[in-house]
Chains A and B, each alone.
Chain A
Amino acid sequence: MTAAASDARSVIVRGIVLTTLGLLGVAAVMVLALWFTPVEATQGPAQKIFYVHVPAAFTALWMAVPATAFAGLLYLWLHDPRLDRFAAASAEVSLVFCLVVLVTGPIWARPIWGAWWTWDGRLTLTLFLFFLLLGYQTMRAAIRDPVERARFSAVLGAMGLVLVPFIHLSVYLWRGLHPKPIVLKPSDPSLPPEMLHTLLYGIGAAVILYVGLVTLAYGIQLAQDLREAADAR
């Protein structure tokens, strides 16, 4: 195995380790949430899904998507393929996290609001993010030349990032409401300490999971790029 290929392999291994840690962390948080955190007064046990939903939303919106966009912009400046690889990996993981948000959202909403989907501002924004990321992946899959793929992904990422605040504002306008800040906390103004702690652990686990999955995705892409370069010779 060449030096570069073994580099790819070690990245993949690191990715698997971190992902496993992250998944264990998420499982631990779920246990914590179900058995050791008080039940929320007005929403009942259904609220517990919040400890998965909010960390996923936070990680997707504030870490994964900006990482993709900024890595892309850096690529346009530095032309380093590693930046593109990272942006693509982050985008894939963002897609997964968005899906988690979009699935847990309705599960949370149904017992509380009586409807699966209420066009809630934050969920709608996540829906848009999901489609932007889907478009990003679809476009990448349709471009064969890696240099073009990297450039176009960077452009799409930058434009998507600027779009997000416009979506946020126009969705709230559409509902006739004032824009709410997208905060960690749900509609109630303050969280009792045990719930806050569980939430923070949840976010920590989600971040570790994100880093693990991105590392894994990066490693897999690196291995594939090396294979393609070897085939081209």
Chain B
Amino acid sequence: MGNLLRLAVVLAGKDLRLELRTRTSIVSAAVFAALVLIVFNFARDPTAVATIDLAPSVLWVTIAFASVLAMNRGFLVERENAAFDGLLLAPVPREALYLGKFLANFAFVVLVEAIALPLFVLFFNLDIAHALGGLVLTMLLATMGFVAVGTIFSAMVVKTRFAELMLPVLLLPFMVPPLILAVKTSVPLFSGRPLSEVVDGLRFLAIYDIVFITLALLLFPAVVDE
């Protein structure tokens, strides 16, 4: 168990270092998130629909699409460097490979969210300081759900043609339950309801996360071992 975590950290560290050198994923995803927010702003009529009603949907659509973009690189970096065999050769449990990628992807997406959320508050002129704690918790749990499935799928699509198009096609249906739950949780929080009222939604998100992380851990060896 200790070795598993140690290896996951070594692997995630490698991915983070690579990403910081090239900055392709995080920058594209962050720019994309900003652009989506801007487009949303111009695509609505502020007199017709109250901002606060539209806000949770806008936030979560932006996060969902930006997450897919951030995870796109995923295993592509291994293919480009023709380095994947090196990981499989080594005495590394396949679960550690998954966890390492999961941690790295999670870090990337959270970083993008950390950029998107302030922009969101800025562009939409919202006061959600009271809801910040609950919102951050929701974002972390929903992100874990997105990344749990996105990580294993990115290992699969890297070997297909049109890898970058394939990931959203496969991943989006899986993102819908956490998305629904995230929006359902955000709406009361934005309206000032206390955290205790949305605990059920958060619990459901946590269940989704546990189920799919476990499933992905079980199935990941079948994806990478030939």
Direct contact of A and B (CB under 8 A): yes
Residues of A at the B interface (CB closer than 8 Å) are 76, 128, 131-132, 134-135, 138-139, 142-143, 145, 147-148, 151-152, 154-156, 158-160, 162-163, 166-167, 169-171, 173-174
Partner of B169, one of A76, A135, A167: A135
Chain A residue numbers with a CB within 8 Å of B170 are 135, 139, 156
**A158 CA / B211 CA spacing, docked (Å):** 13
**Which residue of A76, A139, A152, A173 is within 8 Å of B184 (Cβ)?**
A173
- Which 6 pairs show the lowest CB-CB distances between chains A and B? A142-B160, A170-B177, A166-B177, A170-B180, A135-B170, A142-B161
Contact B177 A159 (CB under 8 A): no
- The answer to whether A143 touches B159 (Cβ under 8 A) is yes
Binds A, one of B10-18, B42-50, B94-102, B218-226: B218-226
What residue of chain B has the Cβ atom nearest to residue A149's Cβ? B160
Task: Tell me, in angstroms, the Cα distance from A131 to B174 when the chains sit together.
Answer: 11
* Given pairs A139-B169, A159-B152, A169-B177, 18 additional interface contacts (CB within 8 A): A131-B172, A134-B169, A135-B169, A135-B170, A139-B160, A143-B160, A145-B159, A155-B156, A155-B219, A155-B222, A159-B174, A159-B219, A166-B177, A166-B208, A167-B176, A170-B180, A173-B180, A173-B204
Q: Note all chain B residues with C-beta closer than 8 A to A174.
A: 180, 184
Inter-subunit contact B162/A158 (CB<8 Å): no
Interface string of B16-37 (1 = CB under 8 A from A): 0000000000000000000000
Residue B71, interface by CB 8 Å: no
Known A128-B176, A131-B173: A147·B226 in contact at CB below 8 Å = yes
CB-defined contacts of A154 to chain B, threshold 8 Å: 222
Measured CB to CB, the closest approach of chain B to A138, in angstroms, equals 6
Interface mask (B174-197 → A, CB under 8 Å = 1, otherwise 0): 101100110010000000000000
For residue B204, give the distance in angstroms from its CB to the closest CB of chain A: 8
> Are A155 and B173 within 8 A (Cβ)?
no
- In the bound complex, what is the Cα–Cα distance between A174 and B176 (angstroms)? 11
Nearest CB of B to A172, in Å: 10
Interface flag for B166 (CB, 8 Å): yes
Q: Are B222 and A151 in contact, with the CB atoms below 8 A?
A: yes
Q: Which residues of A contact B216 (CB under 8 A)?
A: 159
Q: Are A135 and B222 in contact (CB under 8 A)?
A: no
> Contact check: which of A128, A138, A152 meets B223 at CB < 8 Å?
A152
| A to B CB contacts below 8 Å, 17 in the list | A128-B173, A132-B173, A139-B156, A143-B160, A143-B161, A151-B223, A155-B219, A162-B215, A163-B174, A167-B177, A170-B176, A170-B177, A170-B181, A170-B204, A173-B180, A173-B181, A173-B184
> A128: which B residues are within 8 A, CB to CB?
173, 176
Which residues of chain B are within 8 angstroms of A156 by Cβ–Cβ distance?
A: 156, 170
Q: How far is the CA of A161 from the CA of B47 in the complex (A)?
A: 44
Which has the most chain B C-beta neighbours within 10 Å: A128, A143, A166, A174? A166
Contact B226 A162 (CB under 8 A): no
Residues in B whose Cβ lies below 8 Å from that of A159? 149, 152, 174, 212, 215-216, 219
- Chain B hits for A139, CB < 8 A: 156-157, 160, 166, 169-170
* Interface flags, B126-165, vs A, CB<8A=1, else 0: 0000000000000000000000010010001101111000
CB neighbours (8 Å) of A135 from chain B are 169-170, 173
